[in-house]
Each structure stands twice: as structure tokens, then as C-alpha cells.
Amino acid sequence: MPDTVRITLLPLGHEFTVRRGTPLRDILFTYGVEFPCGGNAVCEGCKVKVLSGNLPLTQEQENMLSRKEAKEGWRLACRCNADEDITLELAQWEAKILADDSRFEFSPREGFGIAIDLGTTTLAAQLLDLQNGNVLAVETGLNDQGRFGADVMSRVFFAVMEKGQPALESAIRYQLGELIGKLILTSKVEASRVVDVAIVGNTVMHHLFSGLDVAPLSQYPFNSPTIGLASFGPTQLGWSMIPNAVVRFLPCLGSFVGSDILAGIMATNIHKSESLVGLIDLGTNGEIVIGNREQLLFCSTAAGPAFEGSCISMGMRATTGAIVQVLGAGGSFNCRVLGNGEPRGICGSGLVDAVAVGLSTNHIREDGKVLTANGVLNLCPPVEITQADIRELQVAKAAIAAGVQILTKDVGATIGDISRIYLAGAFGNYIDRSNAFRIGLLPVPPEKIQPAGNTALLGAKLALFQANSDAFGQIKSIVRHVALNLDEQFQDIFVGEMGFPELPPSQPIASPE
């Protein structure tokens, strides 16, 4: 019996050979198969369909899959190994990963630099000529750590409870090394002239890249003593292709507010603003900064999962097959699907749109109750939104709105005093600002909301030109963390924000189905 087996993926058309017995989750993540629960067989995010060959149906899979699904050949990839030649059907998709093409002021320096936004879900890296600031190459991808869990807490659990931190650390270091190699190959620069690598990410990514113990982030009071600047030589990371570079993971602001937010502050210059401004990143976690050049208050909220679709019944990332936009059309829903193909689910921006339309057409009451006969919103078959999905969105948007209110209160101002809110990240770039205001997610009018793109990557690029400056220290001197759970008004404000704002009187109302 040969030691290898052949795997064919349709409709992608990829064929490759792997060692017999290789777990599918080790090889399919790159091709778009998600493992939201970290491979623990408690969700169906990693379903694949066997077209030829055989993947045994285990008891765990029987408990998760319907009889119809099992009979049709569907399996949970997290519980299967490649023991023979197989052909699998995957739902083809393409991820829209936000890079950055902003122009910015800088002081030239010699050599080349690499800026990296190390996100929980996605990676974005750019190689720059430090003499003129030009971007010479761009590489993006999905974070390979996603094989071990979709969110930061699932990875912390894997690192601590399953002793998996070495695997997480080596996976991301190897992957970023591969991205750097591609950047150099594409740009044709002399690798020895790369002098600086600036990396930003949330605190968990900071620890899992830097080899710092994440156990303090897994238990109360969730404080880590090692959130500062982490510096490395290339050989420490296995990056021998850039022997003369200094690798820096920028310092975090707090245990759950990382250097990606520090970079966002640098990118938007809110630390230099005279007027009251804000920065909100609605990613895997929801981070908020409110203030000006005198003081910046920041907090973190557990809001991201709803906006990224991971806790929504038919939720998914903004990839092919995802409903990304919903418009009202004669009392019904008109959906735009990424890739113009069959809908498979709904992403965060589509969810916000759908609820806003549902409120405007009287399919959803201001308290969040779905008013249709069957208690679900049928968007574009087979995609629907359940009552539980609405509740998840209410919790997420209430957490963000309450965070903005409390930070604004603590700087001695009111919501009306906020002159502008910058929305960072892919979700902030694609969300409909009017609909975000309509559902009460963002408490300021749409004209005060400005999508800011990938501020983390832009801030990392700025850091390449500030290698010897005290810019980080200047910002950290005016920032202060606010623990929302310790604010005596948080619970009341949070509950008050659970409902949706009342429909404006001028808005037409349609009858529910």
C-alpha cells in the first residue's frame, strides 16, 4: 500500500498528494474550509461532501449531521483523515482581505521595510521602499491558526488546556515567514536590505507570535504582565531570508486591546485632535477609543462574533456565497450575494442591513421580536435569520453602544460632542453607515462616521519610519483603560441599548409577511 493518497477538490480543481492518514483539517483550511469550533465537532462549519472515495461516518458526526446530510456524503472535515484517494466538493469562495494604499507623511530612511497586520482571521503584509514610502509588494492570507479555533478565546483554550501554544506559535511564525519570502520574490528587492519588520495585532496574537504565556489571558483578572514591545532577531523566528532586519511586534495598550489599536490611533491621528473623536474596530473583538490630544480612553467589548457571523445560525465571513447587502423592496428583501452565485449564508454587513430593513418594513419590532408568522426572516433561500440571531445582534450592538456612552461620559462629554468616529477594519469599511445608525449600533449620525480602512496596517507602515522615536510612548502617556464591567452604570446602559431605536415618523411602514 502506498504511503501517499491523492485528494481532488471541486469546484476549485486542485489536486495534490498527502501522506496517508493526514488529518483533513491540516490541509483544507487553506482552501476555504472553516473550523470555527477549533475541530471539536460541536459545529458544522467544516462540512465537506465526498464525491468519490470514502470518509467513514463516526458517531460524533452522526450526532451532528442529519440523516439526509450523511446519506448525501457530507462529513465533518475536523473528524476525518485522508486514508485513501478522495474527491471532495467545497463551496468555492474568495476572501476579501483589506490591505492599505494610503499616502502618508514620513521621514525617509535607508533600506526596505515590511509592515504586517496579524489579525485573528486574516493577514496582510506590505513591503515598502523606506526612501520614498512606495509599496512594492502586497501579500494577504488567512491566519493558519484558524485550524485550532476561529476566535481568540478558542485559541487561548487550545494553548492552555491542550498545551497547544507551541503549535500556534510555530504555525504563525512559519506562515509569516512564507509571506515575507513571497514579498521579496515579487518585489525583486535584495533581501539583505530589508532592515525593519513592524507587526501589529491584538494581545492574544502578540503573545502567540512572541512566545509569551497566554495563561494570564485565560483567567480573571485577565491581565498579562508582558504586553510591551517585543523585539526579535530574524534567526529567532527562522526568517534567515532577511538576516539584517529587526523584527518588532508593537506594544499593546492592554490585555485585550492590542497594538492594532495603537496603530489605529497613529493612522487616524486622533491623539492629535483638538475636538472629541472616536475609533471603533468591529473585528473579532470590539475595541473602542474616545478622546482627543488631552486624553484617550479605551475599552474592549465582546461584540465581534456577531459581526463576523460566527454565532449566527447561517453566519459566515464575507466570502463567496455570503449575503453582504440587503435592500428593502416593496416590503420584501433584495439581497446582494458575493460572487453572484447561490447564497450560502450572511456576513456582518448583511446582517446589519437585514435588521435595519426588517425594522423599516415592520418585520421586526423595536424590542427585537420578529413579527413574521414563523418567527424567522426569509431573506434569499435558503438563507434566513432567526429570532436567536436577532438577539445575538442586539447583545453585540448594545455592548458597542454602551461602551461609546461610558467612554464619552468618562471624558466629561456627551455623545453630541463627538465630531467624528473612525471605523477601522473590513467590517467598518463595508458596513452601511445609515443602517448602523438605524439599529443603534453607532450612536452618532452617518455624516459623523468615517470608514478608515485597514488602520492597523497603515499604523504598522508608519512605525517603520519611527524606529527610533518615542511615538509609542507619547500615545501611551495619554491613554487609559476603562473596565466596563467595573462601571456601576454599565449594566443599566447596556440593557437600555438592547432595543432598537424607534422608526422615524417619515419612514413608510409595510406589513409583515
Q: What is the pLDDT of residue 512?
A: 43
> What is the Cα–Cα distance from 80 to 255, expressed in whole angstroms?
36
> What is the Cα–Cα distance from 148 to 283, expressed in whole angstroms?
18
| Residue 432 CA to its chain's centroid (Å) | 18
**Helix, strand or coil, per DSSP, at residue 370:** strand
Q: What is the pLDDT of residue 351?
A: 95
Predicted structure pTM score? 0.82
Summarize pLDDT for 431-471 with one digit per residue, the tens. Answer: 899 999 999 999 899 999 999 989 999 999 999 998 766 67
Could you tell me if residue 238 is left (phi over 0), alpha (psi between -120 and 50 degrees) or otherwise beta? Answer: left
pLDDT band at 10 (very low <50, low <70, confident <90, very high): confident
Runs of H (alpha helix) within 14-58: 25-28
Summarize pLDDT for 207-253 with one digit per residue, the tens. Answer: 999 999 999 999 888 889 999 999 999 999 999 999 999 999 999 99
Angle 131-137-139 from CA coordinates, rounded to 5°? 135
Average pLDDT of the residues in 77-91: 89
Residues 6+ apart with CB under 8 A from 57: 65, 70, 75
Is the pLDDT at 406 greater than 90? The verdict is yes
Q: What is the pLDDT of residue 95?
A: 54
Percent of the chain with pLDDT over 70: 94
Residue 27: Cβ within 10 Å count: 17
Is the pLDDT at 91 greater than 70? The verdict is no
Cα torsion at 358, 360, 362, 367 (round to 10°)?
A: 80
Is the pLDDT at 513 greater than 50? The verdict is no
Residue 100: Cβ within 10 Å count: 22
Residue written as cell 470514502? 54
Query: Residues, the chain, total?
Result: 513
Summarize pLDDT for 333-349 with one digit per residue, the tens. Answer: 999 988 777 898 998 89
Domains in the chain, please, with CATH?
4-89 (3.10.20.30), 112-262 (3.30.420.480)
Q: Of 7-21, 33-47, 262-276, 402-416, which gets the smallest average pLDDT? A: 33-47
**Cell numbers placing 125:** 503584509
Q: For residue 328, what are the β-bridge partners? A: 333
